[in-house]
Amino acid sequence: MSVLRTLRKEFPSAQTALRHENAFQLLVATILSAQCTDERVNMVTGDLFRKYPAPADLALVPREELEKEIRSTGFYRMKAKNVIACCSMLVGRFGGIVPRNMDDLVNLPGVGRKTANVVLGQAFGIASGVVVDTHVHRLARLLGFTKEDTPEKIEADLMEIFPEKDWIELGTLLILHGRRTCKARKPDCPACPVNHLCPSSAV
């Protein structure tokens, strides 16, 4: 579609802003990113992954200690509980390896469909669906791709409109566009490269 082609030119090397070296790191970083900026998560995970480089390491860390490590990401008690439980399940059920399918991933503590889509798409190149975060939720409606208001239904509409080969890239591009130009509080319509394609444009 024209929107996708235009955003590709705007972000030629689009990828997740969460720094990671493997699927395990991306999984933990994505869990920590809930209600938190990627920049803040990246500040935390650098030291975190040096201290605890594998699922077996995080599975055994005392919860209070992990809470201190990730406190600045917000909701740190629940996140610490989920990360430890998630890593314990990775070790106990999957031999410390992050699974490559949606069903197994969403059964991990703290992992929903959005997180699973991020891991499958960014770490493994598997197009299981479209990542729908707050930016994608907002932009998909503004651009007229959907009238739905739940992540699941929005994702279903996007998967119907766009071919499977574009699903991974689509979520990443919309997130980047939402952060740079189409911001929730003050969208910069005059500077928007897709304003001529957007039914909600103020230009």
At 41-86, the pLDDT tens digits run 999 999 999 999 999 999 999 999 999 999 999 999 999 999 999 9
Domains of the chain: 2-14+129-197 (1.10.1670.10), 23-124 (1.10.340.30)
Q: Name 137's Cβ contacts closer than 8 Å, sequence gap at least 6.
A: 151, 154
Catalytic site includes residue 153 = no
Q: What is the mean pLDDT of residues 168-179?
A: 96
Q: What is the mean pLDDT of residues 92-106?
A: 98
pLDDT tens figures, 87-98: 999 999 999 999
Cα(first)–Cα(last) distance of the chain, in Å? Answer: 21
pLDDT at 90: 98
Catalytic site includes residue 57 = no
Active-site residue (options: 133, 149, 157, 186) = 133
Query: Between 14 and 160, where is the model more confident?
Result: 160
Longest dimension (CA), the chain: 55
pLDDT band at 13 (very low <50, low <70, confident <90, very high): confident
pTM, to two decimals? 0.94
pLDDT band at 7 (very low <50, low <70, confident <90, very high): very high
Q: Name 94's Cβ contacts closer than 8 Å, sequence gap at least 6.
A: 104
pLDDT at 202: 82
Say which amino acid occupies 43: M
Q: Is 26 left (phi over 0), alpha (psi -120 to 50) or beta?
A: alpha
What dihedral angle (degrees, nearest 10) is formed by the CA atoms of 27, 62, 56, 91?
-80
Question: What is the spatial distance between Cα 106 and Cα 153, in angstroms, rounded to a whole number?
Answer: 17
pLDDT at 170: 97
Active-site residue (options: 38, 57, 114, 186) = 114
pLDDT over threshold 80, residue 23? yes
pLDDT tens figures, 49-61: 999 999 999 999 9
pLDDT over threshold 90, residue 114? yes
pLDDT at 1: 65
Say which amino acid occupies 8: R
